[in-house]
């Protein structure tokens, strides 16, 4: 009997220890700034929760495909992606509705970040502005329309339609032409007519930074999150403030449906949204804050999409409009631009 009890106790102890070791959260994130994220976010959270973070990176297409392929038995617990990619997954019923009462920092977010795709299926954690980076010694930029002006022929780069910046650039070029609808057919046709004047249709901001630092490109639309690549250059780059304003976007957090690790995911999401962490991430120039309580210096703010005045002024394209129109845009783009 004593032996049986001892074995039972030992078995229970081993099970408890195994459970502690198995307290693991698997997250899917963008691949940039991972060393900085580890210091500012991942390591402090692991210390607080007594858990392990498994961090998976990759481009949006790869990461979304992995979530879809494992829908019946999720291996990703929580992911950060663009708002329109989040909506795409939500429409496939792969995203859990969030119980925002479990996010103590939810009310601190800018209103646009609190329920960005509807149904509380996502929460915004960072905003970004998009404008035109240009060489001040070679050109002056006053409008988004300048991108297709003869003065930039052979020296301009535009984002590929399939990238994050692609639809935003279409929106702002349409605004410059007096069109506030999401019928971008005339804009795409205009880009097609100027295709020979465009150095490249870039897919990654790192690719664009290389071209601009090599002086092959002197102006291009870019997200504010990549501004530091240009600001630190010895070349005289500036961030344009076009007459039509700046475009904007938001990256969001989602939780996969039926992952079985919801409580730990809520804990991590809430920690990331806290004033403490959002300030630390902003000061490290990793991401711009969605938490309204974050206060940073003017020098830090100059590198970010920061403050209510700027965020409320951004032209943000409705995620549903992107999802509903993307196939049409891409088909026309492939026909008229990528000849």
Q: Find the helix or strand (DSSP H, E) in which 57 lies.
A: strand 52-57
Q: What is the value of pTM for the model shown?
A: 0.85
Is pLDDT of 42 > 60?
Answer: yes
- pLDDT tens-digit series, residues 172-208: 999 999 998 889 999 999 999 999 999 999 988 888 9
CA distances from 14 to 21, 225, 234 (A): 10, 46, 59
Q: Measure the CA–CA gap between 103 and 100, rounded to whole angstroms.
A: 5
Mean predicted confidence (pLDDT) in 247-256:
96
**Amino acid 240: pLDDT:** 96
- pLDDT tens-digit series, residues 294-312: 999 999 998 899 999 999 9
> Same topology for domains 2-127+249-315 and 128-248+318-336, yes or no?
yes
- In words, the CATH class of domain 2-127+249-315 is alpha beta
The ranges assigned to domains in the chain are 2-127+249-315, 128-248+318-336
Superfamily of domain 128-248+318-336: Periplasmic binding protein-like II (3.40.190.10)
Kindly indicate the confidence band of residue 4, based on its pLDDT and cuts at 50, 70 and 90. Answer: very low
How many residues in the chain? 339
Q: Answer yes or no: are the C-beta atoms of 334 and 191 closer than 8 Å.
A: no
Q: Measure the CA–CA gap between 259 and 266, rounded to whole angstroms.
A: 12
- pLDDT tens-digit series, residues 21-34: 469 999 999 988 89
Mean predicted confidence (pLDDT) in 136-141:
96
Q: Is 316 helix (H, G, I), strand (E, B) or coil?
A: strand
């Amino acid at each position: 009997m004593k032996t049986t009890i001892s074995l039972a106790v030992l078995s229970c102890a081993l099970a408890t220890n195994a459970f502690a070791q198995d307290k693991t959260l698997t997250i899917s994130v963008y691949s940039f700034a991972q060393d900085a994220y580890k210091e500012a976010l991942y390591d402090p959270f692991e210390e607080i929760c007594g858990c392990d973070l498994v961090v998976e990176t990759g481009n949006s297409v790869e990461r979304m495909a992995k979530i879809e392929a494992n829908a019946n038995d999720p291996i990703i617990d929580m992911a950060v992606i663009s708002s329109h990619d989040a909506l795409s997954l939500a429409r496939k019923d792969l995203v859990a509705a969030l119980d925002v009462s479990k996010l103590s920092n939810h009310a601190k977010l800018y209103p646009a970040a609190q329920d960005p795709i509807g149904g509380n299926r996502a929460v915004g954690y960072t905003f970004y502005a998009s404008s035109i980076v240009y060489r001040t010694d070679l050109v002056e930029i006053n409008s988004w329309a300048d991108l297709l002006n003869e003065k930039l022929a052979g020296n301009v780069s535009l984002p590929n339609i399939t990238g994050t910046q692609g639809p935003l650039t279409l929106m702002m070029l349409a605004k410059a032409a007096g069109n506030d609808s999401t019928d971008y057919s005339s804009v795409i046709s205009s880009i097609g007519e100027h295709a020979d004047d465009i150095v490249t249709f870039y897919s990654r901001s790192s690719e664009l930074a290389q071209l601009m630092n090599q002086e092959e490109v002197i102006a291009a639309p870019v997200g504010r999150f990549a501004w530091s690549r240009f600001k630190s250059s010895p070349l005289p780059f500036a961030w344009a403030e076009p007459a039509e304003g700046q475009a904007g976007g938001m990256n969001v957090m989602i939780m996969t449906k039926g992952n079985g690790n919801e409580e730990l995911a809520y804990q991590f999401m809430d920690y990331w949204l806290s004033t403490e962490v959002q300030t630390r991430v902003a000061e490290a120039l990793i991401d711009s804050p969605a938490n309204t309580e974050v206060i940073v210096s003017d020098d830090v703010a100059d590198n970010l999409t920061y403050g209510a005045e700027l965020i409320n002024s951004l032209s943000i394209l409705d995620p549903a409009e992107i999802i509903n129109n993307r196939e049409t845009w891409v088909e026309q783009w492939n026909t008229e631009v990528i000849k």
